[in-house]
Structure 1
Amino acid sequence: MGTGAITSYVDVAQLVLYAFWAFFAGLVYYLVRENHREGYPDMDSGTGRGVITGWPVPDAKTYKLADGHEHVVPKAEPSQADIAAEPAHAWTGAPLVPTGNPLLAGVGPGSWTERADRVDTDGDGGVRILPLRLVPDFDVAHQDRDPRGLPVVGADGVEAGTVVDLWVDTPENLFRYLEVELPGGARKLLPINFVNFKRDAVKVKAILGSQFADVPTTKHPEQVTMLEEEKICAYYGAGTLYAEPSRQEPLL
C-alpha cells in the first residue's frame, strides 16, 4: 500500500474528499433553509394568508434585538390591509392596479415594507431622527443654503407650503427630511432624496403641489416611526409613476 493508504483501495485523500462533499452538501442545505426564513413563500393568492410550512422553510427562530424587542421569523402574516389594488387580469400573478388614490395604494413604486411601528434608535437607545429644534448641537453648514423659510413647489409649479425645519439622523450626521408646513397649518415630512434645492425655492418633481395634503402624517409631531418612514417615502415614490396619468404612458 502507498503512503497514507488505510487499505488497498481507501486512503486519507479519498476520505478528505468524501468529508468535503458531506460538509458542502450540509452547507447548501443550511443556506437554502436560512434563505427561506423571510419573504418565502409568497402570499397565497387564493386565501390571502401566508404559507410557511413544508421544506425548505425552517422552524421559527426568535431574534433578540438590541433595543429589547424580539423578532420571530418565519411567521404567518396576513396580506397587508393597506394595499388598495386589484389584479389587472383574472389569472394568478397578474399585475396589481391601484384603486382609489394611487399614491396611497402601496403598489409599484409606492410599495412599502411592514417595518415595526416604533422609532428607530441609536446605539444608546435614544431617538435616532429628530428635528433640528430639539438638537441644538446640529445645524446647517454655513457654506450651504439653509432651506428653512423657502417655499416648496411641486412638479406642476404650484406652491405647496414652506419649509419650517429639517430632521436630522443624529448618528449619521445627515438630514433625512424637510418639515413642510401647508397653508392650513398641517405639517408633512419630505424625504431629502426627492428634493431639488434652488436658490429661491425647494422643488419636488415626484408629486404635484396639491398632492402634499395626502402625504401620510406621523403620530408624534417630533418623531417618526420606521413604519411611518416607509409609508411617507412610498408616497413620494408612487408619485414618480402615478402623480399624473401621462407618467404611465410610453415615452415614445
Structure 2
Amino acid sequence: MNYYLVGNTDLAELALWAFFLFFIGLIIYLRREDRREGYPLESDVTGRLENPGWLFRPDDKTFVLSNGRGVVHAPGKRVFEAPNPKTRRMSPYEGAPIEPTGNPLIDGVGPAAWAERAHAPDIMLDGSPKIVPLDKSHGFWIARQDRNPIGMPVFGCDNVMAGVVSNVWVDQMERVIRYIEVRLMGDAGGAGRTVTAPMAMCQVSSRRGTVKVDAIRADQFAAAPALASDSQITFNEEERVIGYFGGGYLYSKRSRIEPFL
C-alpha cells in the first residue's frame, strides 16, 4: 500500500508538521496567558513598560467573583502595588537591588513588601469572614490544656514591653490562631493604640506568662498597620501586617542588616 500523498510528502511528515504547529501555538498561548498578572514589565534603567507586541499581548478576561463581590478584569489596567519614592537602587545597572531610604518597614521594599490585594476579607462557605476575633467567632475558645494568651504582656525582640494581648484572632476553618491583638502601653510609643501581630511570629511562654514577638522592637509596634474594622481583616490588611512584621527580621536592627561574616 502506498501512503504518499503528493510527491515525497507522506502521512508521517504531515503528522510531524502538525505537531510542530501545535507546539508553537501552545507556546504562544502560554506566553499570552502568563501575562495576566504582574505585566507589563518595567525597565529598571529607563522605567519604560515593555511592549510584548500583538502576538503575546493577552486579551482581557472577565472573572465573576463569588458571593456578589463583583467582577475582575485581567490583565486589565495596570496597578502599581507599592508606589513609594523613598527607595533607591544600590547600583546604576539593570537588576540592581533596591534599598529603602525612609522607614524600611513601611516603604514596601524587600521582605517588607506587600501585594495590593482585595479590600475584602477571606470568607467561609456561607460568606461570613473566616478570620475573626475570638469573642466574635462561632463557638471557639482557648483549650483548657493551654494557657490563654489574653492579658499577657508582649515584648519585642529587644526584650522591652510593648503592650498587652487584648484579644486573639482565629481562623474558623483551619481552627488555629492567626493573629494576636496588642494594646500598646508604656514607653514603647503609641500608648492606647491597638495593633495586630501574626501569631506565627510570636513566642508564647506559658511558664513566664509572656508573649515575645521576635520580628520587631517594642518601639516599632507604634507604626504597625491598623485594621479598619474590629470584626474582620481584609486580604490587603493581612498583606500589610505580615509585610511589616516580616520585614523586621531584616530591618528592625542594624545588626540584622549587616553581613554575618
What TM-score, normalized by structure 1, do the two folds share? 0.89
Which residue does the alignment assign to 1:42? 41
Distance 1:90 1:204, change over 3 A: same
Aligned counterparts of 1:163 and 1:18: Cα–Cα separation in 2: 67
Which secondary structure state, in structure 2, belongs to the residue aligned with residue 21 of structure 1?
Answer: helix
1:100 aligns with 102
Consecutive unaligned residues in structure 1, runs of 5 or more: none
- For the residue of structure 2 that corresponds to 1:104, the secondary structure is coil
Matches within 5 A, 1:84-233: 84-183=86-185, 184-199=191-206, 200-233=209-242
User: Is the 2:178–2:199 Cα contact (8 Å) retained in structure 1?
Assistant: yes
1:148–1:123: structure 2 CA closer, same or farther, 3 Å change rule? Answer: same
Compare 240-249 and 4-13 and name the one that shifted more. Answer: 4-13
| Residues 155-207 of structure 1 deviation map (CA, whole Å, 9 limit, x = unaligned) | 11001111121111212222210111111221111101111121221111110
Whether the aligned pair in 1 keeps the contact of 2:155 and 2:213 (CA below 8 Å) is yes
Residue 77 of structure 1 corresponds to 79
In structure 2, relative to structure 1, the CA distance for the partners of 1:223 and 1:82 (3 Å cut) is: farther
Bigger drift between 201-210 and 63-72 goes to 63-72
Determine the C-alpha separation between the residues in 1 that align with 2:92 and 2:12. 59
Q: Is the 8 A contact 2:81 2:114 kept in 1?
A: no
Amino acid at match of 2:97: P
Query: Does the CA-based 8 Å contact 1:49-1:77 persist in structure 2?
Result: no
Shift of 1:130: 0.5
Residue identity over aligned pairs, in percent, reads 41
The total of aligned residue pairs comes to 251
Q: Deviation of residue 53 (structure 1)?
A: 5.5
Q: Distance in 1 between matches of 2:120 and 2:212?
A: 30
The alignment's C-alpha RMSD in Å is: 2.3
Q: Contact (CA 8 Å) 1:129, 1:170: kept in 2 or not?
A: yes
* Structure 1 residues 149 and 169: alpha-carbon distance in aligned structure 2, compared to 1, 3 A threshold: same
Residue 56 of structure 2 aligns with an amino acid whose one-letter code is P
TM-score calculated relative to the size of structure 2: 0.86
Q: Distance in 2 between matches of 1:228 and 1:203?
A: 22
**In structure 2, what is the equivalent of residue 66 of structure 1?**
66
Counterparts of 1:204 and 1:145 in 2: how far apart (Å)? 17
